[in-house]
Amino acid sequence: MPSSLPSLDAPRNAIWLPIFAGLCASLVSIGLARFAYTPLIPSLIQAHWFSASDVVYLGAANLVGYLVGALIAHPLARRTSNKTALRLMMLAVTLAFFACAFPLSVAWFFGWRLLSGIAGGAIMVLVAATVLPHVPASRKGLASGAIFLGIGLGIAGSGTIVPPLLSLGLQQTWLGLGLLALVLTAASWFGWPSAAPHGADPVPANAAPKATNPSVYLLFAQYAFMAAGLVPAMVFLVDYVARGLGAGQHVGALIWVMYGLGAIVGPVTYGFLADQLGAKLGIRLVLAVQAIAVGLLSISSSFAALALLAVIIGSFPPGIVPLALARVHELIPDHHLQQIAWSRATVSFATFQAISGFAYSALFNASGGHHALMFVIAAGAIVIALLLELAVRLLGRRNPLIAVSCP
């Protein structure tokens, strides 16, 4: 298949340059832009930049932007190119970091957090479609894991970089994150491939999946509930440890580092599960483990338990990306339709993530800051994602057409 061959105008080893660019993109746009905000929440409140309720809603702004970015990714790429769109989005994230160093108003901060989310959503849709066609088929799994490893590195980096930066001041922290994003944007600037490799045509603007495989829609639904399940730990974990349990910001930062360690091993581990067990069974196993871990988080208070749970839960946000992508590839053999399905899966994920972000924020404020309640609801969302497969299977028994089309 031509699309599985490396670019003809570059040596074989050059495939790692686009992979490195993809890693930098996921690191900056999601690993840092979204997850570096979490360890900053206690400081934003304590420094009186914003009220506690405003800080939580500002965190949700990034999630709304992610949905917008997922929707506009392909139109933007068609007007420019994948390479240009990815460069512009990384520049937008960098600019947002610098702008957030100046808390002029809630609306100002909301707008820049929204922009960083838009960039993250667009990059998530475009990065794999831009890089993977240049990678040999035998290395696609490794390449996918390496690209999304950037999310885990960003999470871990935010836990180790933010505390020292905070010792310099909150404004200096945002400026430092902006400088790091600028360096990574520059490092990846010339790593993006110029065009699809020979034989790999761009996705037509009016292309649409021709099959209505129920398993594809099952994946979209599961991916959506996964999004709802990962939001509370992503947003509230540090604040839960630092303020909710009264352990202080230092312990909260340590737990976030453990979350980051889980995020580093997540893409590789989940990719390995997809290779060894198949993506379908891998998703089932991961959902069961995550439901238990998130549920236990609501009743845990010891450092050892929190650290272990943080590692397990931290593997989930970046790990499910290559796992879900592998499931798309299992269900849809056509390369063009894979890109469309992945874009729709990302939109499904982003929609529930954004809705959940604001819903959790409202519930958190209405409950007087009840962290454990957020984690219980999150565990329930993951259980629903797990039970959806059982529901489709039961429907398949009643309708043979569904059963036949559900691999």
Q: Could you say which DSSP state residue 202 is in?
A: P
Inside any domain, residue 206: no
What CATH code is carried by the domain that includes residue 387? 1.20.1250.20
Average pLDDT, the chain: 82
Inside any domain, residue 1: no
Confidence at residue 15, expressed as pLDDT on a 0 to 100 scale: 78
List of residues 6+ apart from 276 with CB closer than 8 A: none
List of residues 6+ apart from 151 with CB closer than 8 A: 26, 27, 30, 31, 35, 263, 267, 317, 318, 321
The pLDDT tens digits of the residues spanning 215-251 come to 888 899 999 999 999 889 888 888 889 888 888 878 8
Write out the residue range of the structural domain in which residue 162 sits: 10-190+211-405
Confidence at residue 5, expressed as pLDDT on a 0 to 100 scale: 38
Number of domains in the chain: 1
Inside any domain, residue 196: no
Inside any domain, residue 283: yes
Task: Give the pLDDT mean for 105-118.
Answer: 92
Inside any domain, residue 3: no
Inside any domain, residue 205: no
The pLDDT tens digits of the residues spanning 302-328 come to 899 999 999 999 998 888 888 888 888
pTM: 0.77
Inside any domain, residue 202: no
* Highest mean predicted confidence (pLDDT) among 53-57, 108-112, 337-341: 108-112
The pLDDT tens digits of the residues spanning 40-97 come to 887 888 888 888 778 877 877 888 898 899 889 888 988 988 889 999 999 999 999 9
The pLDDT tens digits of the residues spanning 12-31 come to 557 788 889 999 999 999 88
3-state helix, strand, coil in the chain (%, to 5): 80, 0, 20
Inside any domain, residue 376: yes
The pLDDT tens digits of the residues spanning 141-200 come to 667 778 888 888 888 887 778 888 888 988 999 999 999 999 999 999 988 887 655 444
Q: Would the pLDDT of 112 be above 80?
A: yes
Confidence at residue 108, expressed as pLDDT on a 0 to 100 scale: 92
Confidence at residue 380, expressed as pLDDT on a 0 to 100 scale: 94
